[in-house]
Amino acid sequence: MFEKVTAVFFDLDGTLVDSVPDLAAAVNVMLLQLGLPARDEAQVRTWVGNGMNNLIRRALANDMAGEVEPALFTRARPLYKAAYADHISVYSALYPGVQEGLVALAATGLPLACVTNKAAEFALPLLERLGIDHFFATVVGGECIPNPKPAPDALRLCAERLGIAVENGLMVGDSLNDVGAARNAGCPVVCVPYGYNHGQDIRDAQPDAVIESIADLPALLV
């Protein structure tokens, strides 16, 4: 199934990095400044995965629908961005097996890329501070393309940057957005069962494979 893979595209939040503790901290700084009550980290965990703007809206509304007045969102967005800039890597950590898996994949010579709905202005310093930025030939952030995952735009741009056909890329993620992006781009997808999929079992999305850890990925590509 994976014999045609010539590059690997990794999602960031929920796949490589547990970033929710910092995202929740930034959300609560924003809410405090707006005079709104704090949200539990467990709540924030279910809201992550569709980009910064959706996270802000869900935090303001305190629900998944995230329907808020445009004026409130306009006030909140710069507050969140400033707060998250101060909280990019205070509590965030790599998931077990990520470092080991990236080292093994790098040894194969396959180019690796990071494809995330997180803005590159936050994704790049997060990767650097966690010591894994050097593994990635390119990073495609949510603002780099008109439509974020599950649209295929980010994967297509990533493939273009790497000089490969997008169908020869392997998407590795944790959510329905990652599966959808891969299906829409015509490439295979492998998922991890942890991460941020709004409380749903990622197996229900029928990825091509589910691995317990990124450390298990190289064995699939041998």
- Domain boundaries, given as residue ranges, for the chain: 7-18+92-220, 20-85
Distance separating alpha carbons of residues 36 and 29, to the nearest angstrom: 10
Distance separating alpha carbons of residues 49 and 118, to the nearest angstrom: 9
| pTM of the complete model beyond 0.85 | yes
- Dump pLDDT digits (tens) for 7-41: 999 999 999 999 999 999 999 999 999 999 999 99
Buried b (16+ CB within 10 A) or exposed e, 121-141: ebbbebbeebebeebbebbbb
Confidence of residue 51 (pLDDT cuts 50, 70, 90): confident
- Dump pLDDT digits (tens) for 59-113: 999 999 999 999 999 999 999 999 999 989 999 999 999 999 999 999 999 999 9
> Which residues have CB under 8 Å from 137's CB, separation 6+?
111, 112, 113, 161, 162
Active site residues: 11
Question: Structure tokens of 33?
Answer: 């400044």
DSSP state of 202: G
Peptide bond into 150 cis (omega under 30): yes
Could you tell me which CATH number the domain at 20-85 has?
Answer: 1.10.150.240
* Overall fold of domain 7-18+92-220: Rossmann fold (3.40.50)
Confidence of residue 143 (pLDDT cuts 50, 70, 90): confident
Nearest to 173 by CA among 133, 122, 114, 219: 114
Residue with tokens 């056909």: 165
Distance separating alpha carbons of residues 39 and 180, to the nearest angstrom: 29
Distance separating alpha carbons of residues 158 and 180, to the nearest angstrom: 16
> Which residues have CB under 8 Å from 54's CB, separation 6+?
47, 66
Question: Structure tokens of 171?
Answer: 């998407």
> Which helix (H) or strand (E) segment is 162 a member of?
helix 153-162
